[in-house]
Amino acid sequence: MWPTDPTALELNINQKERPLSWKQQTFLADSAMGAPVYRRVKSLLACNLAFRTAGNHNGIKPWLKPAFISKQRLPLPSQSTVLARSYCQHTAQKGLVFRQMFEPISSTYTYLLADCETREAVLIDPVLEEVERDAKLVKELGLRLLYAANTHCHADHITGTGLLKKVVPGCRSIISKDSGAKADITIQEGDRIEFGRFHLEARATPGHTDGCMTFVLNDHSLAFTGDALLIRGCGRTDFQQGSATRLYKSVHEKIFTLPEWCIVYPAHDYKGMTMSTVDEERRLNPRLTKSMEEFVIIMSNLNLPKPTHIDTAVPANLVCGIQGD
């Protein structure tokens, strides 16, 4: 949603020294992203919001001036600017409950999303050892857990989805069809996981495994990237149908094409970081900013040890975890 404060559009076309406010930069960032400026301005006019302009604008009404004219002599928006505009915007304005939880042994993040109005909730990537914690939080927040979804068939931990189905009656497990794993619901590219007024769009992002999915919130503000894209990293591609070229394409075609302000929530982080953005990873990811050829070489030279729990985790995850029976 566009900021409704009229001062947000104080463009100061003639400014040279004074730095742009974040709102001003955001306006230009939107323009640079290809959003039709005129359409946005038109909708603002319809809202009867006042425009304030300053200085000489060369005879062009600032609100109809194409963004590229002024953009050339203005600093490009940094990702922190972009971040500020979008961070949890949907949450505040649309009634989304959101929680991030951490499991320290496999450094896995579990995410809880829910609609405040309907109380319908989804858990992404729950971990077996933390099922009690997650189920307790769902209860404390007065939510109705519809689904426990895995971004992929994990190799480093056993999913909590099987046990959650027992602990939380009515909860159904979800995984991609391409994973080859069993679940109550198997999904494919373009399918939607609906909870109340929200949904997660499933995007197939294979490469770490064949069945990797990225779940994108309907307004494209949040992307749960699983092991496809990590913060300044990515999932390994040396087992479980791994393919560096497929992963490279998946990230570039399905994740980096999301809005730059889309927040990236991965399945893991090993350095204590909790989130990133599409913009940050496009600019700063040390692997995925390289060419595909360089990426393939990097991935083939990682020489990572075999995951400790792969021999127990994968068979269990192929049947959606421990069933609790």
The yes or no reply on residue 157 touching a copy of itself (CB under 8 A) is no
3-state secondary structure of 129: helix
Q: How far is the CB of 292 from a copy of itself (least distance, A)?
A: 24
Q: With CB under 8 A as the contact rule, which of the stretches 59-67, 211-219, 265-273, 294-302 interacts with a copy of itself?
A: 265-273
Beta strand residue intervals within 26-170, DSSP E: 96-103, 108-115, 120-124, 144-149
The yes or no reply on residue 140 touching a copy of itself (CB under 8 A) is yes
Ramachandran angles phi, psi of 148, nearest 5°: -120, 110
How remote is the C-alpha of 13 from its chain's centroid?
A: 34
The yes or no reply on residue 35 touching a copy of itself (CB under 8 A) is no
Choice between 86 and 250, CB closer to a copy of itself: 86
- What type of residue sits at position 69? I
Q: Which of 33, 42, 55, 117 binds a copy of itself (CB under 8 A)?
A: 117
Choice between 63 and 98, CB closer to a copy of itself: 98
Ramachandran sector of residue 320 (left: φ over 0; alpha: ψ -120 to 50; beta: rest): left
185-193: Cβ within 8 A, 24+ apart: 185/147, 187/213, 193/122, 193/147, 193/149
Q: Which of 23, 157, 208, 268 binds a copy of itself (CB under 8 A)?
A: 23
3-state secondary structure of 71: helix
Q: Which of 116, 292, 318, 319 binds a copy of itself (CB under 8 A)?
A: 116
Tell me which residues touch a copy of itself (CB under 8 A). 1, 3-5, 19, 21-23, 47-48, 78-81, 83-89, 91-93, 95-104, 114, 116-117, 119, 130, 133, 137, 140-143, 271-275, 280, 284
